[in-house]
């Protein structure tokens, strides 16, 4: 058996609204829309990963999602322009990532990072 993909499922009563947030902040495309469930992505399946953690690093709580991007500075600036709640500032971490935490409209902590 080989795992092909792991997809986090984010519960919300407002599927369209939450999808719009992720589309605007990260430029994700709608890959599948059944009305009650929407799958979004960058056009490919991406790597299969699952992280299990007791903390989020640097004393932060464990984020709900970690999202790697190619230009974290651009996403950070866009999140600020959107008026998003930045719960952890843009930081160069000792383990080699540059990241920030932003809170989505449902209160989930997103760890936006670049290696």
Structure tokens at 102: 């932003």
Q: What is the pLDDT of residue 99?
A: 97
6 located within any domain? no
109 located within any domain? yes
Cα separations (Å) of 32 from 29, 47, 110? Answer: 9, 19, 22
More confident residue, 45 or 23: 23
Structural domains counted in the chain: 1
Q: Say whether 52 sits in a helix, a strand or coil.
A: coil
Burial class of residue 106 (count of CB atoms within 10 Å of its CB; 0-12, 13-18, 19+): middle
Q: Domain containing 83 — which CATH number?
A: 3.10.180.10
- Report which secondary-structure segment, H or E, holds 89: strand 85-92
Per-residue pLDDT tens for 41-74?
887 666 767 787 889 999 999 999 999 999 999 9
Domain coverage including residue 48: 15-114
């Amino acid at each position: 058996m080989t795992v092909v993909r792991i997809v986090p499922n984010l519960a919300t009563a407002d599927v369209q609204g939450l999808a719009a947030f992720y589309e605007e902040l990260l430029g994700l495309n709608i890959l599948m829309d059944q009305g009650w469930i929407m799958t979004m992505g960058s056009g490919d399946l991406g790597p299969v990963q699952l992280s299990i953690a007791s903390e989020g690093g640097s004393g932060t709580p464990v984020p709900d999602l970690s999202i790697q991007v190619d230009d974290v500075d651009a996403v950070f600036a866009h999140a600020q322009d959107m008026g998003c709640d930045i719960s952890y500032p843009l930081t160069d971490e000792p383990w080699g990532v540059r990241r920030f935490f932003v809170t989505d409209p449902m209160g989930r902590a997103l760890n936006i990072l670049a290696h």
